[in-house]
Amino acid sequence: MFQRASLVAGVLLAVGVPMATSAFEPPALRAQANRVPAPPWPAGDERGMANVLGAATTQRCGWHLSQRGARTYEASFERSNTMPKSPFAPPSLSKPKPTAGVPFSAHAFNSEAFEAGAEPQQQGTQIDALGHFASIRSPWDPKNPFSADDASYYGGYKQQDVKPTPDSPLLKLGIEKIPPLVTTAVLLDARAHIGKGRAMGDGQLVTAADIEAMLKAQGLARRGILPGDMVWIYTGWSDNWKDPADPSSPYYAMAPGLSVDAAKMLAGKRIVAIGLDVPFLDPVPDGMLQGKAPPAAGTEPGLPFSIHHYMLSVYGIHHLENLNLAAMAADRVWTSCAMVLPSRDKGAAGAVIRPVAIGVPNQR
pLDDT per position as a tens digit, 287-341: 999 999 999 999 999 999 999 999 999 999 999 999 999 999 999 999 999 999 9
Residue among 54, 48, 20, 21 nearest 35 (CA):
54
The pTM for the full model equals 0.92
CA separation for the pair 116, 145 (Å, rounded): 25
**Residue 252, burial from CB neighbour count under 10 angstroms (0-12, 13-18, 19+):** buried
Question: Quick one: three-class SS letters along 297-319?
Answer: CCCCCCCCCHHHHHHHHHHCCEE
The rounded mean pLDDT for the chain is: 92
* Contact (Cβ atoms closer than 8 angstroms) between residue 70 and residue 19: no
| Residue type (1 letter), 85 | K
CB of 280 closer than 8 Å to CB of 257? yes
Check residue 202 and report its DSSP letter. Answer: T
Specify the pLDDT at position 315: 98
Pairing relation of β-strands 356-359 and 71-74? antiparallel
Q: Calculate mean pLDDT across residues 251-264.
A: 97
For residue range 207-233, list pLDDT tens digits in order.
999 999 999 999 999 999 999 999 999
151-160: per-residue pLDDT in tens?
999 999 999 9
77 — pLDDT class (breaks 50, 70, 90): very high
CB atoms within 10 A of CB 283: 31
Average pLDDT on 190-208 reads 98
Residue among 222, 206, 217 nearest 258 (CA): 206
- Strands, E assignment, 24-141: 71-74, 94-96, 100-101, 108-109, 112-114, 126-128
pLDDT of 181 above 90: yes
Cβ neighbours for 268, distance < 8 A, ≥ 6 positions apart: none
Identify the band that residue 22 occupies on the pLDDT scale cut at 50, 70 and 90. Answer: confident
Task: Tell me 175's DSSP state.
Answer: G
Q: What angle do CA 245, 249, 253 make, to 5 degrees?
A: 115
pLDDT at 169: 97
**Has residue 5 got a pLDDT over 50?**
no
- 20 pLDDT band, cuts 50/70/90, is low
Higher pLDDT, 90 or 42: 42
Question: 121-125, 133-137, 220-224 — which is least confidently predicted?
Answer: 121-125
Q: Given a cut of 50, is residue 350 above it in pLDDT?
A: yes
Cβ proximity of 23 and 220 under 8 Å: yes
Q: Is the per-residue pLDDT at 14 higher than 50?
A: no
Residue 183 · residue 352 · CB < 8 Å: no
Task: Determine contact, residues 188/360, Cβ cutoff 8 Å.
Answer: no
Confidence of residue 18 (pLDDT cuts 50, 70, 90): very low
- Report DSSP letters for 203-234, one per residue: T-EE-HHHHHHHHHHTT-TTT-PPTT-EEEEE
Question: Residue 92 — very low, low, confident or very high, per pLDDT cuts 50/70/90?
Answer: confident
Q: Check whether 250 has a pLDDT greater than 80.
A: yes
> What confidence score (pLDDT) does residue 9 get?
40
pLDDT value at 21 more than 80: no
- pLDDT class of 87 with cuts at 50, 70, 90: confident
In sign, the C-alpha dihedral spanning 319, 325, 328, 333 is: positive
B/e letters for 327-363, b = 16+ CB within 10 Å, e = fewer, are ebbebbbbbbbbbbbbeebebbbbbbbebbbbbbbeb
The whole-angstrom separation of Cα 206 and Cα 283 is: 9
Q: In this structure, what DSSP letter does residue 72 have?
A: E
Q: Measure the CA angle with vertex 15, ends 9 and 20; round to 5°.
A: 45
User: Residue 2: its pLDDT value, please?
Assistant: 32
